[in-house]
Amino acid sequence: MNATFTSGKELEKMDPVFGQLSFDNHEQIVFCNDKDTGLKAIIGIHNSVMGPALGGTRMWNYANEWEALNDVLRLSRGMTFKSAITGLNIGGGKAVIIGDAKTQKTPELMRKFGEFVHSLSGRYITAEDVGMETKDMDTVREVTPYVTGISEEKGGSGNPSPITAYGVFLGMKAAAKHQFGSDVLEGKKVLVQGIGHVGEALVDYLTKEGAQVTITDINEERLYNVAQKYNASIYTGLDLYTADVDIYAPCAMGATLNEESIHKLKAKVIAGAANNQLANETIHGKMLTEKGILYAPDFLINAGGIINVYAELAHYGKAEIMSKTENIYNTTLEIIDFAEKNNCTTHQAALTIAQNRIDARKLENNKL
Ligand code: NAD
């Protein structure tokens, strides 16, 4: 079990799929191509022991197809552990569509993607991720029932991002309780990197609690709008990893915790929504622990979104969504405690507990 962020050049040297560093016994990888709509997508089913593989679709302008493959391998694996640690009866999967969501996403392309999802007969169930909106899932729903995160008007659970943000906020509070002796974030300096769907909702929770919020985003227009709306400061320094803050919340893309950034970090707590924050989960998880930085595992605290979309499959309502999301607070404290007692990183602690659940389920399944 070793997920590593690899550069495009390094990736080229490896065997295409099974030789990828990010390959971790994934069950099935599906390459989807459609000339007419321009669709190029990859669906990754990592593990279906706990149930059908559920996970969002990301549309991103990848530098090359290797990067897209690496991303879907890492993301789908992350979903397996996210659902297992959250106690959901689903496996881990994810999809990526190669392209610019702003200019290349069309209803035809989304429907074609939905047809590919449908061809898997429910082994993979999709939802939204970066570059996707609830309305895109409604479009996918026109051609397949194997989609969640559809709009409330169409009988779905709606946009998962506010619930994700709520879970991240609670995971952050639990980490703060352990690190600073109190879970009250009032007065705490928090840097939120990426103020998209989840980041903005997190800024809302943080400012309501009285935290001193600084934000950063590559989308300048959004940055100024969100800063104004919540009276948040915009990070103006040259290197955000050197920012003098108590808490760093990565809410953009993954792999921001790496050799370079960890050396610079002043934050004592890391708690954010982005998936795969550790560039190398073994090396960088350890580096954080050695530096005395408490890392709230991403796949644990950003599970609000999967809890929300899973409600459509398990047929539970808002009250249960909220109580399952609120549980992230206690689970975060339990994971920190497990890590201390077992002398491992918080990331390893969460992985171990999730893997134990998967192994136990596999034994049960084999007995049937
Ligand atoms: P989003 O696309 O709405 O927002 C991402 C934001 O990050 C955008 O505003 C973008 O401009 C910004 N960004 C991109 N690269 C950046 C960089 N280098 N520096 C600063 N800002 C940058 O996505 P989202 O739905 O808010 O998701 C954010 C992260 O959380 C993603 O990693 C996603 O996989 C993860 N996540 C989201 C959900 C969910 O419910 N939406 C659930 C779990 C995990």
Same domain (yes/no): 136, 220: no
pLDDT on residue 3 = 56
Expressed in angstroms and rounded, the spacing between residue 254 Cα and the centre of ligand 1 is 9
Q: Which atom of ligand 1 is nearest to the CA of 159?
A: 40
- Residue 347 sits in a domain whose CATH number is 3.40.50.720
Query: Is the model's pLDDT at 131 over the cut of 70?
Result: yes
Range with lowest mean pLDDT among 33-37, 129-133, 166-170, 179-183: 129-133
pLDDT on residue 22 = 86
Query: Is the model's pLDDT at 1 over the cut of 50?
Result: no
pLDDT on residue 14 = 72
What lies within 8 Å, CB to CB, of 233 at 6+ separation is: 212, 213, 214, 215, 227
- pLDDT tens, residue by residue, 66-94: 999 999 999 999 999 999 999 999 999 99
Does residue 188 have an active-site annotation? no
- pLDDT tens, residue by residue, 7-47: 667 766 677 778 877 899 999 999 999 999 999 999 999 99
* Residue 363 domain-assigned (yes or no): no
Same domain (yes/no): 341, 201: yes
Rg (CA), the chain: 19
- Phi, psi for 355 (deg, rounded to 5): -65, -40
Which of 154, 171, 202 marks a domain boundary? 154
Percent of the chain with pLDDT over 90: 91
Same domain (yes/no): 139, 269: no
Same domain (yes/no): 100, 208: no
Which of 154, 178, 194 marks a domain boundary? 154
* Residue 244 domain-assigned (yes or no): yes
- pLDDT tens, residue by residue, 289-310: 999 999 999 999 999 999 999 9
* Residue 86 domain-assigned (yes or no): no
Same domain (yes/no): 143, 228: no
- pLDDT tens, residue by residue, 327-349: 999 999 999 999 999 999 999 99
**Count of CB atoms situated within 10 Å of the CB of 220:** 9
Binding residues for NAD(+) are: 194-199
* Residue 360 domain-assigned (yes or no): no
Q: Is 252 in the pocket of ligand 1 (CB under 6 A)?
A: yes
- Structural domain count of the chain: 2
Q: Whose CA is nearest to atom 14 of ligand 1?
A: 252
* Residue 311 domain-assigned (yes or no): no
- Residue 25 sits in a domain whose CATH number is 3.40.50.10860
Same domain (yes/no): 254, 340: yes
Same domain (yes/no): 173, 110: no
Q: Which atom of ligand 1 is nearest to the CA of 298?
A: 44
H-run or E-run covering 213 = strand 212-216
Same domain (yes/no): 244, 111: no
Same domain (yes/no): 135, 150: yes
Answer whether 69's CB lies under 8 Å from 75's CB: no
Ligand 1 probe mutation, 202, 248, 251, most atoms within 8 A of CB: 251
Same domain (yes/no): 186, 47: no
Same domain (yes/no): 123, 166: no
Query: Is the model's pLDDT at 245 over the cut of 60?
Result: yes
Q: What is the mean pLDDT of residues 100-114?
A: 98
Q: Which of 361, 352, 355 is nearest to 334 (CA)?
A: 352
Which of 137, 154, 171 marks a domain boundary? 154
Catalytic-role residue among 13, 40, 82, 94? 94
Q: Which atom of ligand 1 is nearest to the CA of 250?
A: 29
Same domain (yes/no): 178, 149: no
* Residue 73 domain-assigned (yes or no): yes
Ligand 1 probe mutation, 136, 253, 260, most atoms within 8 A of CB: 253
* Residue 83 domain-assigned (yes or no): no
* Residue 325 domain-assigned (yes or no): no
What pTM was computed for the model? Answer: 0.93
pLDDT on residue 12 = 66
Domain that holds residue 66: 8-77+91-154
